[in-house]
């Protein structure tokens, strides 16, 4: 990535959050609207760090929290069966109360940083992180949340009526983890006539993980289209 983007690991708290860290990527201007970037089950690995820099290059101050820190810090997993099994185990070990506390702590930390400009905060996440982006809107009051193939959101739609920020969903047509019936439930609960700022897109011919260029399911066309929609959505709401 261009040397215009400065990035580093930073602390996200003290006390009960001592040891909680995140990968911070700054825009060329050094400051910008805040964007929480939520990882897949593979950790804040090289791919997620490059995605953080991608959004930073667009002008956002990006923070990718290390969600698995309580079990294993700075874990980096590959996309093979072993990495997927390890990631699922780490995800399953997170207590719901701890997950909420970490989301709230990450949002508060980003809002307090000198590189955060303005008053608005966004979130974007992939797979497991797609659900965390949705939960960031419910629990941390982010102004705009982008969820890429976020699993399990259809089981937490009771939170939707209380979400005040806008939501953007990206789903794969042929996702073996998220059936289209679940996508329809998410769309029906969030993209109603009373929520014109929300949108839900399904990408024909794609599979789960279509945004990740490190995976066999990567789909360049869908990835580019979803990125363009995400950047427009975030820019209109955060700048």
Q: Would you name the residues annotated as active-site residues? A: 127, 175, 208
From residue 68, how far is each of 74, 90, 102, 180 by CA, in Å?
8, 6, 10, 29
Residue where the block lists tokens 């939707």: 160
In DSSP notation, 152-164 reads TGGG-GGGGGG--
3-state helix, strand, coil in the chain (%, to 5): 40, 20, 40
Neighbouring CB atoms inside 10 A of 60's CB total: 28
**What are the strands, taking DSSP E only, across 58-174?**
61-65, 116-126, 144-148, 166-172
């Amino acid at each position: 990535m261009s040397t215009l983007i400065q990035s580093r690991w930073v602390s996200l708290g003290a006390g009960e959050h001592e040891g909680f860290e995140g990968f911070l990527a700054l825009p060329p201007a050094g400051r910008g609207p805040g964007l929480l970037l939520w990882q897949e089950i593979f950790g804040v690995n090289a791919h997620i760090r490059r995605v953080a820099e991608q959004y930073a290059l667009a002008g956002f101050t990006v923070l990718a929290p290390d969600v698995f820190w309580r079990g294993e810090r700075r874990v980096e997993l590959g996309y093979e069966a072993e990495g997927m099994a390890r990631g699922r185990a780490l995800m399953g070990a997170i207590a719901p109360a701890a997950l909420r506390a970490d989301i709230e702590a990450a949002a508060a930390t980003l809002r307090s940083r000198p590189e955060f400009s303005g008053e608005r905060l966004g979130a974007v996440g992939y797979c497991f992180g797609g659900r965390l982006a949705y939960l960031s809107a419910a629990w941390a009051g982010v102004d705009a949340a982008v969820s890429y193939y976020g699993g399990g959101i259809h089981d937490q739609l009771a939170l939707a009526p209380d979400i005040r920020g806008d939501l953007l969903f990206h789903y794969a047509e042929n996702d073996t983890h998220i059936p289209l019936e679940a996508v329809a439930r998410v769309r029906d609960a969030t993209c109603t006539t009373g929520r014109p700022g929300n949108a839900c897109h399904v990408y024909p011919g794609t599979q789960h993980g279509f945004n990740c260029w490190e995976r066999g399911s990567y789909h360049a066309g869908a990835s580019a289209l979803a990125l363009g929609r995400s950047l427009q959505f975030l820019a209109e709401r955060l700048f």
